[in-house]
Amino acid sequence: MEKKENYSISADEIHIGKGVRIADGVTISGGYDYATSKPIPAKKVVIGDGVFLASNIEIICPSIEIGDYTMIREHTMISGYQDAKIGSCCWIGQGCILNTHGGLTIGNGVGIGAGSQLWSHIRFGDTLEGCKWESVAPMVVEDDVWFVGHCLVSPIHAKAKSMAMLGSVITRDMEENHIYAGVPAKDITDKLGTQYEDVPVDKKYEVMTGQLEIFYKKNPQFPRSIRIVKDSTNLEENDKTVFDVSNRTYTKRLTEEEIEFMKFLLVKIKFYPKQ
């Protein structure tokens, strides 16, 4: 792990993976004791392999898990009363707010553009005086969802591969592979089509082998221990990292070559460890 001196993680249990980069001004804790001016330790902090936390990020919640190769950009805040779980290969842009009051679950390969806000509660008015606007609900964002940027999201369930265009205000659940836009956001899939289309395995193989060759031209120092295949069901190569384009998985070995190749692929191409 590449360390910077000016960051703070306060937790009873801390797990930090290989190849992690944490910039200055990052603070992670379970809360803040205003009487003593000291952070309250979180129960658990898990930061996966290859994660990058940019400068001046503040995370305050009981526990947080961040998956492999996720990148969180500058001045983002993640806070609330419940746990947060963020998957692998996610991108969270500059100045985002992610609230965990109702619980926050974000899947793999999720993009949250700069300035976006994801809220799991609504609370301010005086309930004793009769304010009816007070609620808490889980925020669930499935794999490959993309909030393009400056999106405002209430506690919803965003299903896999759904997408919200720039500046959308999302107040209702998002259906799988549908596209939304507007204030409030409406389904415009019939106008723009879906975010994802089917790609043949042969085409995926062609693209990945091409990407690997570009990577090796830029990094001739590596011993070429990465292999691209169309099916790894019966394949055993303990000395290589195998990327299987048929199911989007790779055999995780955490070599320097593998880590650098994963970084090279992101954010456009995403793979996940074979279980």
CATH code at 8-141 = 2.160.10
Q: What is the mean pLDDT of residues 165-189?
A: 98
Q: What is the mean pLDDT of residues 93-105?
A: 98
DSSP annotation of 174: B
33-68 per-position pLDDT tens digit: 888 888 899 999 999 999 999 999 999 999 999 999
Percentage, residues of the chain above pLDDT 70:
98
Instruction: Give me the pLDDT at residue 236, please.
Output: 74
Give the full edge-to-edge strand order of the sheet including 272-273. Answer: 226-229, 241-244, 249-250, 272-273
Beta-carbon contacts of 5 under 8 Å, excluding residues fewer than 6 positions away, are 24
Alpha-carbon gap, residue 126 to 271, rounded angstroms: 48
Supply the pTM of this predicted model: 0.94
Confidence check: pLDDT of 221 > 50: yes
- Where are the domains positioned within the chain? 8-141, 201-273
